[in-house]
Structure 1
Amino acid sequence: MTTVRPVREVREFIRAALVQPVARDHTESDAAFHRRRLVALVTLLVGALVLGFALRIRPGDPLFYAATLGLAGVWGAGALASGPLHLGRAHTRAGGEDARPVVQSLTLGALLLLLFLAGAAVVAHVPVLRDPVQHLLDHARLGSLAVVAVLTAVNGVAEELYFRGALYSAVGRRHAVAVTTVVYALTTAGAGIPLLVLAAALLGLVTALQRRVTGGILGPVITHLTWSLGMLFLLPPVLSTGR
Protein backbone atom coordinates (compact mmCIF):
# COMPACT_ATOMS: atom_id res chain seq x y z
CA MET A 1 0.00 0.00 0.00
CA THR A 2 1.39 3.39 -1.03
CA THR A 3 1.73 5.93 1.76
CA VAL A 4 0.64 9.45 0.86
CA ARG A 5 2.86 12.15 2.34
CA PRO A 6 1.04 15.50 1.98
CA VAL A 7 4.02 17.71 2.81
CA ARG A 8 6.22 15.90 0.34
CA GLU A 9 3.50 16.02 -2.31
CA VAL A 10 3.12 19.78 -1.90
CA ARG A 11 6.88 20.30 -1.99
CA GLU A 12 7.25 18.24 -5.15
CA PHE A 13 4.32 20.03 -6.78
CA ILE A 14 5.80 23.47 -6.08
CA ARG A 15 9.19 22.33 -7.34
CA ALA A 16 7.74 20.95 -10.57
CA ALA A 17 5.37 23.86 -11.21
CA LEU A 18 7.40 26.88 -10.10
CA VAL A 19 11.06 25.99 -9.55
CA GLN A 20 12.66 23.40 -11.86
CA PRO A 21 12.67 24.55 -15.52
CA VAL A 22 11.83 22.16 -18.33
CA ALA A 23 14.56 21.78 -20.94
CA ARG A 24 13.91 23.70 -24.17
CA ASP A 25 15.75 25.49 -26.95
CA HIS A 26 14.03 28.76 -27.75
CA THR A 27 16.70 30.84 -29.45
CA GLU A 28 16.46 33.81 -31.81
CA SER A 29 18.88 36.04 -33.66
CA ASP A 30 20.15 39.32 -32.23
CA ALA A 31 18.13 41.23 -34.81
CA ALA A 32 14.93 39.41 -33.86
CA PHE A 33 15.64 39.97 -30.17
CA HIS A 34 16.15 43.73 -30.59
CA ARG A 35 13.03 43.95 -32.73
CA ARG A 36 11.06 42.13 -30.02
CA ARG A 37 12.32 44.61 -27.44
CA LEU A 38 11.22 47.59 -29.52
CA VAL A 39 7.76 46.16 -30.18
CA ALA A 40 7.36 45.21 -26.52
CA LEU A 41 8.30 48.71 -25.36
CA VAL A 42 5.88 50.47 -27.70
CA THR A 43 3.12 48.04 -26.73
CA LEU A 44 3.76 48.64 -23.04
CA LEU A 45 3.50 52.41 -23.37
CA VAL A 46 0.28 52.27 -25.38
CA GLY A 47 -1.23 49.55 -23.19
CA ALA A 48 -0.49 51.42 -19.96
CA LEU A 49 -2.27 54.50 -21.28
CA VAL A 50 -5.32 52.55 -22.42
CA LEU A 51 -5.47 50.64 -19.12
CA GLY A 52 -5.31 53.84 -17.09
CA PHE A 53 -8.14 55.26 -19.16
CA ALA A 54 -10.28 52.11 -18.85
CA LEU A 55 -9.90 51.87 -15.08
CA ARG A 56 -11.14 55.43 -14.63
CA ILE A 57 -14.39 54.96 -16.55
CA ARG A 58 -17.46 55.10 -14.34
CA PRO A 59 -19.23 51.79 -13.64
CA GLY A 60 -22.19 51.26 -15.93
CA ASP A 61 -20.74 53.32 -18.77
CA PRO A 62 -20.75 51.23 -22.00
CA LEU A 63 -17.46 52.89 -22.91
CA PHE A 64 -15.81 50.54 -20.41
CA TYR A 65 -16.53 47.57 -22.67
CA ALA A 66 -14.96 49.22 -25.70
CA ALA A 67 -11.94 50.39 -23.71
CA THR A 68 -11.20 46.99 -22.19
CA LEU A 69 -11.67 45.26 -25.53
CA GLY A 70 -9.30 47.78 -27.07
CA LEU A 71 -6.81 47.10 -24.29
CA ALA A 72 -6.91 43.38 -25.04
CA GLY A 73 -6.29 44.25 -28.66
CA VAL A 74 -3.21 46.28 -27.74
CA TRP A 75 -1.68 43.53 -25.58
CA GLY A 76 -2.55 40.77 -28.01
CA ALA A 77 -1.47 42.53 -31.19
CA GLY A 78 1.77 43.69 -29.62
CA ALA A 79 2.56 40.20 -28.38
CA LEU A 80 1.94 38.56 -31.74
CA ALA A 81 3.86 41.27 -33.58
CA SER A 82 6.88 40.86 -31.31
CA GLY A 83 7.81 37.42 -32.59
CA PRO A 84 7.17 33.70 -32.00
CA LEU A 85 5.46 32.62 -28.77
CA HIS A 86 5.52 29.10 -27.32
CA LEU A 87 2.93 27.09 -25.38
CA GLY A 88 5.46 25.43 -23.10
CA ARG A 89 5.88 22.03 -21.48
CA ALA A 90 5.50 20.79 -17.92
CA HIS A 91 7.01 18.13 -15.72
CA THR A 92 4.89 15.00 -15.37
CA ARG A 93 4.40 13.08 -12.15
CA ALA A 94 6.45 10.25 -13.64
CA GLY A 95 9.38 12.59 -14.17
CA GLY A 96 8.93 13.33 -17.86
CA GLU A 97 8.77 16.72 -19.57
CA ASP A 98 6.33 16.07 -22.39
CA ALA A 99 3.03 17.27 -20.93
CA ARG A 100 1.20 20.54 -21.38
CA PRO A 101 0.92 22.52 -18.10
CA VAL A 102 -2.85 22.19 -17.73
CA VAL A 103 -3.48 20.40 -14.42
CA GLN A 104 -0.64 22.22 -12.67
CA SER A 105 -1.99 25.57 -13.83
CA LEU A 106 -5.57 24.86 -12.82
CA THR A 107 -4.29 23.88 -9.39
CA LEU A 108 -2.14 27.00 -9.04
CA GLY A 109 -5.02 29.21 -10.15
CA ALA A 110 -7.36 27.60 -7.63
CA LEU A 111 -4.81 27.97 -4.82
CA LEU A 112 -4.31 31.63 -5.67
CA LEU A 113 -8.07 32.13 -5.72
CA LEU A 114 -8.47 30.57 -2.27
CA LEU A 115 -5.64 32.72 -0.92
CA PHE A 116 -7.19 35.92 -2.23
CA LEU A 117 -10.68 35.03 -1.05
CA ALA A 118 -9.31 34.37 2.43
CA GLY A 119 -7.66 37.78 2.35
CA ALA A 120 -10.88 39.34 1.06
CA ALA A 121 -12.74 38.00 4.09
CA VAL A 122 -10.49 40.21 6.21
CA VAL A 123 -10.51 43.18 3.84
CA ALA A 124 -14.32 43.10 3.88
CA HIS A 125 -14.21 44.58 7.38
CA VAL A 126 -11.78 47.38 6.47
CA PRO A 127 -13.77 50.01 4.52
CA VAL A 128 -10.74 51.97 3.36
CA LEU A 129 -9.47 48.86 1.55
CA ARG A 130 -12.81 47.30 0.66
CA ASP A 131 -14.59 50.25 -0.96
CA PRO A 132 -12.12 50.91 -3.83
CA VAL A 133 -12.25 47.22 -4.78
CA GLN A 134 -16.03 47.21 -4.71
CA HIS A 135 -16.06 50.30 -6.91
CA LEU A 136 -13.99 48.39 -9.46
CA LEU A 137 -16.35 45.41 -9.24
CA ASP A 138 -19.31 47.73 -9.87
CA HIS A 139 -18.54 47.40 -13.59
CA ALA A 140 -19.99 43.90 -13.34
CA ARG A 141 -22.77 44.78 -10.88
CA LEU A 142 -24.07 47.81 -12.80
CA GLY A 143 -23.34 46.44 -16.26
CA SER A 144 -23.65 43.05 -17.89
CA LEU A 145 -21.94 40.34 -15.84
CA ALA A 146 -21.78 38.05 -18.87
CA VAL A 147 -20.06 40.69 -20.99
CA VAL A 148 -17.65 41.57 -18.19
CA ALA A 149 -16.82 37.87 -17.78
CA VAL A 150 -16.02 37.52 -21.48
CA LEU A 151 -13.89 40.67 -21.39
CA THR A 152 -12.13 39.40 -18.27
CA ALA A 153 -11.23 36.18 -20.06
CA VAL A 154 -10.15 37.92 -23.26
CA ASN A 155 -7.98 40.39 -21.36
CA GLY A 156 -6.51 37.62 -19.24
CA VAL A 157 -5.33 35.78 -22.33
CA ALA A 158 -4.05 38.97 -23.96
CA GLU A 159 -2.15 40.03 -20.84
CA GLU A 160 -0.37 36.69 -20.64
CA LEU A 161 0.47 36.78 -24.34
CA TYR A 162 2.18 40.09 -23.74
CA PHE A 163 3.60 40.06 -20.20
CA ARG A 164 4.63 36.41 -19.91
CA GLY A 165 5.10 36.01 -23.65
CA ALA A 166 6.48 39.01 -25.51
CA LEU A 167 7.79 41.10 -22.60
CA TYR A 168 9.33 38.13 -20.79
CA SER A 169 11.23 37.18 -23.94
CA ALA A 170 12.22 40.79 -24.58
CA VAL A 171 13.80 41.18 -21.14
CA GLY A 172 16.13 38.24 -21.68
CA ARG A 173 16.93 35.31 -19.43
CA ARG A 174 18.34 37.32 -16.54
CA HIS A 175 15.87 39.05 -14.21
CA ALA A 176 12.88 38.34 -16.49
CA VAL A 177 10.74 37.12 -13.58
CA ALA A 178 11.43 40.22 -11.47
CA VAL A 179 11.13 42.73 -14.31
CA THR A 180 7.88 41.40 -15.75
CA THR A 181 6.34 41.10 -12.28
CA VAL A 182 7.18 44.69 -11.35
CA VAL A 183 6.08 46.09 -14.70
CA TYR A 184 2.80 44.15 -14.58
CA ALA A 185 2.05 45.48 -11.09
CA LEU A 186 2.96 49.05 -12.00
CA THR A 187 0.60 49.10 -14.98
CA THR A 188 -2.30 48.83 -12.52
CA ALA A 189 -1.06 51.62 -10.24
CA GLY A 190 -2.94 54.25 -12.23
CA ALA A 191 -6.23 52.94 -10.86
CA GLY A 192 -5.26 54.13 -7.40
CA ILE A 193 -6.29 50.84 -5.78
CA PRO A 194 -3.46 49.44 -3.60
CA LEU A 195 -4.98 45.96 -3.39
CA LEU A 196 -5.19 45.78 -7.18
CA VAL A 197 -1.45 46.46 -7.39
CA LEU A 198 -0.80 43.79 -4.76
CA ALA A 199 -2.98 41.30 -6.62
CA ALA A 200 -1.17 42.04 -9.87
CA ALA A 201 2.19 41.57 -8.16
CA LEU A 202 1.30 38.17 -6.70
CA LEU A 203 -0.40 36.93 -9.85
CA GLY A 204 2.45 38.28 -11.95
CA LEU A 205 5.05 36.53 -9.81
CA VAL A 206 3.35 33.15 -9.98
CA THR A 207 2.74 33.31 -13.72
CA ALA A 208 6.27 34.58 -14.38
CA LEU A 209 7.68 31.63 -12.44
CA GLN A 210 5.47 29.36 -14.52
CA ARG A 211 6.83 30.97 -17.66
CA ARG A 212 10.39 30.36 -16.48
CA VAL A 213 9.65 26.71 -15.71
CA THR A 214 7.53 25.77 -18.72
CA GLY A 215 9.08 28.03 -21.33
CA GLY A 216 5.68 29.07 -22.64
CA ILE A 217 2.43 30.95 -22.11
CA LEU A 218 -0.15 28.16 -21.79
CA GLY A 219 0.42 27.64 -18.07
CA PRO A 220 0.24 31.35 -17.21
CA VAL A 221 -2.91 31.75 -19.31
CA ILE A 222 -4.73 28.92 -17.52
CA THR A 223 -3.64 30.11 -14.08
CA HIS A 224 -4.67 33.68 -14.87
CA LEU A 225 -8.11 32.70 -16.17
CA THR A 226 -8.81 30.39 -13.24
CA TRP A 227 -7.95 33.13 -10.79
CA SER A 228 -9.54 36.12 -12.54
CA LEU A 229 -12.86 34.49 -13.41
CA GLY A 230 -13.08 32.99 -9.94
CA MET A 231 -12.48 36.41 -8.40
CA LEU A 232 -15.09 38.02 -10.64
CA PHE A 233 -17.84 35.69 -9.43
CA LEU A 234 -16.76 34.92 -5.86
CA LEU A 235 -15.16 38.14 -4.60
CA PRO A 236 -18.34 40.30 -4.46
CA PRO A 237 -20.23 38.02 -2.03
CA VAL A 238 -17.14 37.72 0.18
CA LEU A 239 -16.69 41.49 0.35
CA SER A 240 -20.38 41.98 1.08
CA THR A 241 -20.00 40.14 4.39
CA GLY A 242 -18.35 43.25 5.83
CA ARG A 243 -21.32 45.52 5.24
Structure 2
Amino acid sequence: MRKTVLAAITAFGSGLLGASLASRPGSRRFHALTASVAATWFAGAGRVPRGRRDVVQPVAAGAGAFGVFYGGALVARHIPPLRRAITGVLDHAHRGSTPSVAATALVTGVAEEVFFRGALYDAFGARGATAVYVLSTAATRNPALVLASAVMGTVFAWQRHRSGGVQAPLLTHVTWSALMLAVMPRLFPPAPQSVLVRNASEPDRNLRRATRCSYPGTKPVRGEGCRCGHCSCCCSCSVP
Protein backbone atom coordinates (compact mmCIF):
# COMPACT_ATOMS: atom_id res chain seq x y z
CA MET A 1 0.00 0.00 0.00
CA ARG A 2 2.81 2.39 0.91
CA LYS A 3 4.53 1.81 -2.44
CA THR A 4 1.30 2.53 -4.31
CA VAL A 5 0.84 5.81 -2.45
CA LEU A 6 4.45 6.82 -3.12
CA ALA A 7 4.03 5.99 -6.81
CA ALA A 8 0.94 8.21 -6.99
CA ILE A 9 2.73 11.06 -5.22
CA THR A 10 5.68 10.69 -7.60
CA ALA A 11 3.42 10.84 -10.65
CA PHE A 12 1.65 13.94 -9.33
CA GLY A 13 4.88 15.73 -8.41
CA SER A 14 6.48 14.81 -11.74
CA GLY A 15 3.56 16.34 -13.59
CA LEU A 16 3.99 19.57 -11.64
CA LEU A 17 7.72 19.50 -12.35
CA GLY A 18 7.18 19.18 -16.08
CA ALA A 19 4.65 22.01 -16.05
CA SER A 20 6.96 24.27 -14.05
CA LEU A 21 9.86 23.93 -16.50
CA ALA A 22 7.48 24.55 -19.40
CA SER A 23 6.22 27.82 -17.90
CA ARG A 24 7.63 31.23 -18.71
CA PRO A 25 10.91 31.90 -16.87
CA GLY A 26 10.50 34.23 -13.91
CA SER A 27 6.70 34.14 -14.05
CA ARG A 28 4.43 33.73 -11.06
CA ARG A 29 3.23 30.48 -12.59
CA PHE A 30 6.79 29.12 -12.57
CA HIS A 31 7.33 29.95 -8.90
CA ALA A 32 3.89 28.68 -7.90
CA LEU A 33 4.45 25.37 -9.67
CA THR A 34 7.96 24.83 -8.31
CA ALA A 35 6.71 25.62 -4.81
CA SER A 36 3.98 23.04 -5.37
CA VAL A 37 6.58 20.48 -6.45
CA ALA A 38 8.60 21.03 -3.27
CA ALA A 39 5.46 20.89 -1.12
CA THR A 40 4.47 17.60 -2.78
CA TRP A 41 7.84 15.98 -2.04
CA PHE A 42 7.85 17.23 1.56
CA ALA A 43 4.27 16.10 2.20
CA GLY A 44 4.83 12.69 0.65
CA ALA A 45 8.04 11.92 2.51
CA GLY A 46 6.78 11.68 6.07
CA ARG A 47 9.42 10.93 8.70
CA VAL A 48 12.83 10.03 7.28
CA PRO A 49 16.12 9.08 8.99
CA ARG A 50 18.65 11.86 9.41
CA GLY A 51 21.67 9.56 9.42
CA ARG A 52 25.27 10.38 10.21
CA ARG A 53 25.80 14.03 11.10
CA ASP A 54 28.76 14.58 8.84
CA VAL A 55 29.17 17.88 7.01
CA VAL A 56 32.64 18.04 5.46
CA GLN A 57 32.45 14.90 3.31
CA PRO A 58 29.00 15.61 1.78
CA VAL A 59 29.96 19.21 0.98
CA ALA A 60 33.25 18.05 -0.56
CA ALA A 61 31.35 15.47 -2.62
CA GLY A 62 29.01 18.18 -3.91
CA ALA A 63 31.95 20.39 -4.86
CA GLY A 64 33.67 17.47 -6.57
CA ALA A 65 30.53 16.63 -8.53
CA PHE A 66 30.31 20.24 -9.64
CA GLY A 67 33.89 20.04 -10.90
CA VAL A 68 32.99 17.05 -13.05
CA PHE A 69 29.91 18.81 -14.43
CA TYR A 70 31.92 21.96 -15.11
CA GLY A 71 34.33 19.97 -17.25
CA GLY A 72 31.40 18.36 -19.04
CA ALA A 73 29.81 21.77 -19.62
CA LEU A 74 32.93 23.02 -21.40
CA VAL A 75 32.45 20.18 -23.87
CA ALA A 76 28.64 20.48 -24.04
CA ARG A 77 28.92 24.11 -25.16
CA HIS A 78 30.16 22.82 -28.51
CA ILE A 79 27.44 20.17 -28.93
CA PRO A 80 24.33 22.00 -30.22
CA PRO A 81 21.62 19.65 -28.82
CA LEU A 82 23.16 19.69 -25.34
CA ARG A 83 23.88 23.41 -25.52
CA ARG A 84 20.25 24.15 -26.36
CA ALA A 85 18.99 21.84 -23.60
CA ILE A 86 21.20 23.44 -20.95
CA THR A 87 20.43 26.96 -22.13
CA GLY A 88 16.72 26.15 -21.96
CA VAL A 89 17.02 25.24 -18.28
CA LEU A 90 19.22 28.24 -17.48
CA ASP A 91 16.68 30.61 -19.04
CA HIS A 92 14.97 30.50 -15.66
CA ALA A 93 18.17 31.79 -14.06
CA HIS A 94 18.82 34.39 -16.77
CA ARG A 95 15.34 35.85 -16.95
CA GLY A 96 14.15 35.40 -13.37
CA SER A 97 15.12 37.09 -10.13
CA THR A 98 18.43 35.59 -8.97
CA PRO A 99 17.52 35.32 -5.25
CA SER A 100 14.13 33.77 -5.96
CA VAL A 101 15.53 31.32 -8.53
CA ALA A 102 18.30 30.30 -6.12
CA ALA A 103 15.86 29.87 -3.24
CA THR A 104 13.52 27.84 -5.44
CA ALA A 105 16.30 25.55 -6.66
CA LEU A 106 17.74 24.95 -3.20
CA VAL A 107 14.41 24.34 -1.48
CA THR A 108 13.37 21.96 -4.25
CA GLY A 109 16.70 20.16 -3.90
CA VAL A 110 16.11 19.67 -0.18
CA ALA A 111 12.59 18.40 -0.86
CA GLU A 112 13.88 15.94 -3.47
CA GLU A 113 16.35 14.44 -1.02
CA VAL A 114 13.76 14.08 1.72
CA PHE A 115 11.40 12.29 -0.68
CA PHE A 116 13.63 10.33 -3.08
CA ARG A 117 16.50 9.47 -0.72
CA GLY A 118 14.15 9.28 2.23
CA ALA A 119 10.74 7.71 1.65
CA LEU A 120 11.40 6.23 -1.80
CA TYR A 121 14.80 4.87 -0.81
CA ASP A 122 13.27 3.10 2.19
CA ALA A 123 10.49 1.64 0.03
CA PHE A 124 12.34 0.72 -3.18
CA GLY A 125 16.03 0.62 -2.28
CA ALA A 126 18.91 2.52 -3.90
CA ARG A 127 18.43 1.34 -7.48
CA GLY A 128 14.67 1.67 -7.43
CA ALA A 129 14.75 5.16 -5.92
CA THR A 130 17.34 6.30 -8.46
CA ALA A 131 15.36 4.87 -11.37
CA VAL A 132 12.20 6.62 -10.20
CA TYR A 133 14.18 9.85 -9.74
CA VAL A 134 15.35 9.71 -13.36
CA LEU A 135 11.85 8.89 -14.62
CA SER A 136 10.45 11.80 -12.64
CA THR A 137 13.00 14.18 -14.15
CA ALA A 138 12.10 12.89 -17.62
CA ALA A 139 8.82 14.77 -17.21
CA THR A 140 10.79 17.94 -17.99
CA ARG A 141 11.62 16.49 -21.45
CA ASN A 142 15.07 18.02 -21.13
CA PRO A 143 17.92 15.59 -21.93
CA ALA A 144 20.48 17.59 -19.94
CA LEU A 145 18.37 17.38 -16.78
CA VAL A 146 17.68 13.68 -17.29
CA LEU A 147 21.39 12.95 -17.73
CA ALA A 148 22.23 15.01 -14.64
CA SER A 149 19.56 13.19 -12.61
CA ALA A 150 21.03 9.80 -13.54
CA VAL A 151 24.54 10.82 -12.50
CA MET A 152 23.66 12.79 -9.39
CA GLY A 153 20.88 10.39 -8.39
CA THR A 154 23.53 7.68 -8.17
CA VAL A 155 25.78 9.96 -6.09
CA PHE A 156 22.93 10.90 -3.76
CA ALA A 157 21.92 7.26 -3.31
CA TRP A 158 25.52 6.37 -2.45
CA GLN A 159 25.56 9.17 0.13
CA ARG A 160 22.34 7.84 1.63
CA HIS A 161 23.77 4.31 1.79
CA ARG A 162 27.05 5.51 3.29
CA SER A 163 25.51 7.76 5.93
CA GLY A 164 22.29 5.94 6.72
CA GLY A 165 20.09 9.01 6.30
CA VAL A 166 19.16 12.04 4.23
CA GLN A 167 21.45 14.68 5.72
CA ALA A 168 24.50 13.70 3.66
CA PRO A 169 22.77 13.57 0.25
CA LEU A 170 20.90 16.76 1.14
CA LEU A 171 24.14 18.65 1.81
CA THR A 172 25.71 17.23 -1.35
CA HIS A 173 22.69 18.27 -3.41
CA VAL A 174 22.55 21.80 -2.00
CA THR A 175 26.30 22.33 -2.50
CA TRP A 176 26.20 21.04 -6.07
CA SER A 177 23.09 23.08 -6.96
CA ALA A 178 24.49 26.30 -5.47
CA LEU A 179 27.73 26.00 -7.43
CA MET A 180 25.90 25.12 -10.64
CA LEU A 181 23.65 28.17 -10.29
CA ALA A 182 26.61 30.42 -9.56
CA VAL A 183 28.75 29.34 -12.52
CA MET A 184 26.75 27.70 -15.31
CA PRO A 185 24.76 30.78 -16.42
CA ARG A 186 28.07 32.42 -17.35
CA LEU A 187 29.04 29.50 -19.56
CA PHE A 188 25.68 29.43 -21.31
CA PRO A 189 24.47 32.99 -22.04
CA PRO A 190 20.76 33.52 -22.69
CA ALA A 191 19.44 32.79 -26.15
CA PRO A 192 19.21 36.05 -28.12
CA GLN A 193 15.82 37.50 -28.84
CA SER A 194 14.42 36.93 -32.32
CA VAL A 195 14.21 39.91 -34.63
CA LEU A 196 12.40 40.35 -37.92
CA VAL A 197 14.55 40.99 -40.99
CA ARG A 198 13.32 41.89 -44.43
CA ASN A 199 14.12 39.74 -47.43
CA ALA A 200 14.74 42.22 -50.24
CA SER A 201 13.86 39.66 -52.90
CA GLU A 202 10.30 39.23 -51.59
CA PRO A 203 7.32 41.58 -51.20
CA ASP A 204 7.25 43.82 -48.15
CA ARG A 205 4.45 41.82 -46.59
CA ASN A 206 6.64 38.72 -46.40
CA LEU A 207 8.99 38.92 -43.45
CA ARG A 208 11.30 36.15 -42.44
CA ARG A 209 12.38 35.54 -38.90
CA ALA A 210 16.09 35.33 -38.19
CA THR A 211 18.06 35.48 -34.99
CA ARG A 212 21.07 37.59 -34.19
CA CYS A 213 24.00 35.48 -33.14
CA SER A 214 25.26 36.43 -29.69
CA TYR A 215 28.85 35.56 -30.56
CA PRO A 216 30.97 38.61 -31.52
CA GLY A 217 31.90 39.01 -35.16
CA THR A 218 29.03 37.03 -36.65
CA LYS A 219 26.04 38.02 -38.74
CA PRO A 220 22.75 36.26 -39.51
CA VAL A 221 22.54 34.32 -42.76
CA ARG A 222 19.40 32.42 -43.70
CA GLY A 223 19.46 28.96 -45.18
CA GLU A 224 22.80 27.79 -43.84
CA GLY A 225 23.93 25.87 -40.79
CA CYS A 226 25.39 27.56 -37.74
CA ARG A 227 29.11 27.86 -38.43
CA CYS A 228 30.44 29.75 -35.44
CA GLY A 229 29.78 26.96 -32.93
CA HIS A 230 29.01 29.45 -30.17
CA CYS A 231 25.36 30.29 -30.77
CA SER A 232 23.01 29.27 -28.00
CA CYS A 233 20.06 29.45 -30.36
CA CYS A 234 18.76 27.91 -33.55
CA CYS A 235 20.05 30.70 -35.76
CA SER A 236 22.12 30.48 -38.89
CA CYS A 237 25.23 32.58 -38.87
CA SER A 238 28.53 32.99 -40.58
CA VAL A 239 31.89 34.12 -39.33
CA PRO A 240 33.39 36.86 -41.53
- Structure 2 length as normaliser, TM-score? 0.76
- Alignment-derived partner of residue 77 in structure 1: 43
Higher-Rg member (1/2): 2
- Alignment-derived partner of residue 188 in structure 2: 239
**Contact kept in structure 2, 1:59 and 1:136, CA below 8 Å:** no
Amino acid at match of 1:114: G
**Contact kept in structure 1, 2:11 and 2:136, CA below 8 Å:** no
Q: Which has a greater percent of helix?
A: 1
Q: Which runs of 5+ in 1 are unaligned?
A: 1-33, 90-99
- What is the correspondence of 1:29-178 to structure 2 with a 5 Å cutoff? 34-35=1-2, 37-80=3-46, 84-89=47-52, 100-171=53-124, 176-178=125-127
Q: Matched residue of 2:188: which SS?
A: helix
> What is the CA distance between 1:197 and its match in structure 2?
0.6
Cα deviation 1:21-76 (Å, max 9, x = unaligned)? xxxxxxxxxxxxx54x2432221121111111111112232210010001000001
- Structure 1 length as normaliser, TM-score? 0.75
Q: Matched residue of 1:187: which SS?
A: helix
Alpha-carbon distance in 2 for matches of 1:132, 1:195: 6
Q: Which has a greater percent of strand?
A: 2
Q: Matched residue of 2:42: which SS?
A: helix
- Alignment-derived partner of residue 185 in structure 1: 134
- Alignment-derived partner of residue 192 in structure 2: none
**Contact kept in structure 1, 2:51 and 2:166, CA below 8 Å:** yes
- Alignment-derived partner of residue 228 in structure 1: 177
**Contact kept in structure 2, 1:165 and 1:217, CA below 8 Å:** yes
Alpha-carbon distance in 2 for matches of 1:38, 1:194: 28
Cα deviation 1:120-177 (Å, max 9, x = unaligned)? 0111112221012112111121111110100111100000000000000111xxxx22
Q: Matched residue of 1:85: which SS?
A: coil
Bigger RCO (CA 8 Å, 6+ sep): 1
Q: Which runs of 5+ in 2 are unaligned?
A: 190-214, 216-229, 232-240
Q: Matched residue of 1:164: which SS?
A: helix
Residues 123-132 or 38-47, more deviating = 38-47
- What is the correspondence of 1:184-203 to structure 2 with a 5 Å cutoff? 184-203=133-152
> What is the CA distance between 1:207 and its match in structure 2?
0.6
**Contact kept in structure 2, 1:59 and 1:142, CA below 8 Å:** yes
Runs of 4+ in 1 over 3 A off after TM superposition: 240-243
Count, aligned residues: 192
**Contact kept in structure 2, 1:168 and 1:180, CA below 8 Å:** yes
- Alignment-derived partner of residue 207 in structure 1: 156
